[in-house]
Structure 1
Amino acid sequence: MDNPAFAFEKALKNKTKKEILMEKLIDMLLTGLLREGDLLPSERELSQLFEVSRETVRGALAQMAAYELINVSHGTKTRISANEEALSRFADIREAIRTSEIEHFDIECVFESRIVVEAAIARRAATRIDQRGIQKLERMLDAQSKLFDSPVSFQLSDQGFHKLISEYADNTLLLRYGQELYDYGLNIRRQVMVEAGAIERSYQEHVYIVDALKSNDPDASERAMLSHLDSVYRTTKEKARGC
């Protein structure tokens, strides 16, 4: 699979990678995956995460800085500075209706749907993923093992982890549904991720998923994915009750 991070955007011939990356980052701001005050990963880390050049990353960040969405200072990490007023100008950059509609559903409805979609994704990916895909997932795991104290970086990597598996399921609709459902309750997930042991738990669940995919076993891959989703569901619901 060539450049999977942008496989879903190949139809956008008139857009540069810099523009697509900028829109991805703004999308993360609009869904709550990134929020005001967060420190972004370094240019090198973003380059690896999205599989683009550092020049592409630098261009996307420069444009976001011009829009007053981030603060870039030499010698320090880039910080999100986008408040609600700034973000309101970019609400039409994504399919905002999709996400807002999903947020109106209750947590049980969304996770029942996620179980169906991601179980199918895991089964299909198990029979289609190649060695290159496994190596990419293992590189993600290696990076995630060093992010136990970095909720922002971990969630960015987590999103990429699920997206890559979805791409290997080789079904455009499953990929789209998986991404839409992933966006549900991201503000709550952010609160979960700052709790002690939450990132380590998610990381270990990811290890089990990759081990199952590596064996090309659809049943084992489905079980590993469902176990992970059950953990995500329980912790999200518990946190939502306390909000």
Structure 2
Amino acid sequence: MGRNDIRRRKLYEEIASEIERRIHAGDYAPGDHLPSERKIMEEFGVGRPAVREALFALSKMGLVLIRSGERAVVTSPTPDVLIQELSGAARSLMATRDGVRMFQDARVLLEVALVRHAAVNATPDDIAELKEALDANRVAVNDRHRFNETDNAFHAQIVSIARNTVIDATYSGLSEWLFEQRQIAMLHPGSPQHAVEAHTRIFEAIAAKDPDAAEAAMRAHLDGVIKQYWSVWEARLSLTE
């Protein structure tokens, strides 16, 4: 391809778009090096800053890996990259009351579907690993930091039964974005004990291969966490008024 002199307001976007097109077309495969910055500059008729911005944009998309002093390498995008790209917008949305409610609802919809799937599809090994996660959560009931870790691990173990990296990444994102909600809900009196009881009911339903009971237990658990969060949130708000 000859010199491609792009004259647009945002040159780096045009360069990134063309390189992205070539990657998707198979011109560059995962593991291949892109041309040097100088060659890209010559091809598109632009300066080094525009090329570096384009490579940075491709890196954020998960399409290339940039190392100092080396040519960019084409990589395979992962679901985690997609979730990371959404993180900034998610945190902005979480700064509003309506935004928090939307993410809470999203978590309920996701985990209710996943717990039904787990109840139908969990293998004996899955159930054994979930039991280990439940036991670790129960032991940590009087250690808030450790309890939060094991609480998340229990839910993540249920998610992993789907064996789907997109779902894993989606749950990881939701868990990260709702981290503060978990922290606040745990301040509600008796919250850890209630959570362990709920986790036990969820585990028993999955082990019994009962998707209806699993759904009911998960829905009741998450609805309770949401109520605990807003109860503590309202109490804190009243102290500032």
- Do they fold alike, i.e. is TM over 0.5? yes
**1:140 corresponding residue in structure 2:** 133
Q: Secondary structure at the match of 1:134?
A: helix
1:184 aligns with 2:167: no
**1:46 corresponding residue in structure 2:** none
* Alpha-carbon distance change, 109 to 189 in structure 1, aligned in 2, over 3 angstroms: same
Q: Secondary structure at the match of 1:170?
A: coil
Misfit runs of 4+, over 6 Å: none
Contact in 1 for aligned 2:119/2:210 (Cα 8 Å): yes
- Write the letter of the residue equivalent to 1:182: S
1:129 aligns with 2:122: yes
Distance 1:188 1:225 in 2: 17
Distance 1:187 1:208 in 2: 25
Contact in 1 for aligned 2:119/2:214 (Cα 8 Å): yes
Which structure has more RCO (C-alpha within 8 Å, separation ≥ 6)? 1
**1:230 corresponding residue in structure 2:** 223
1:200-239, aligned counterparts within 5 Å?
200-239=193-232
Q: How many residues align?
A: 151
Contact in 2 for aligned 1:122/1:169 (Cα 8 Å): no
With normalisation by structure 1, the TM-score equals: 0.56
* Alpha-carbon distance change, 195 to 114 in structure 1, aligned in 2, over 3 angstroms: closer
Distance 2:136 2:143 in 1: 11
Q: Secondary structure at the match of 1:132?
A: helix
Distance 1:185 1:212 in 2: 25
**2:162 corresponding residue in structure 1:** 169
Contact in 1 for aligned 2:103/2:178 (Cα 8 Å): no
Give 1:101 deviation, angstroms: 4.3
**1:103 corresponding residue in structure 2:** 94
Distance 2:128 2:93 in 1: 33
- Write the letter of the residue equivalent to 1:230: D
Structure with max Cα Rg: 2
Q: CA RMSD in A?
A: 2.2
Unaligned 5+ segments in structure 1 are 1-93
With normalisation by structure 2, the TM-score equals: 0.56
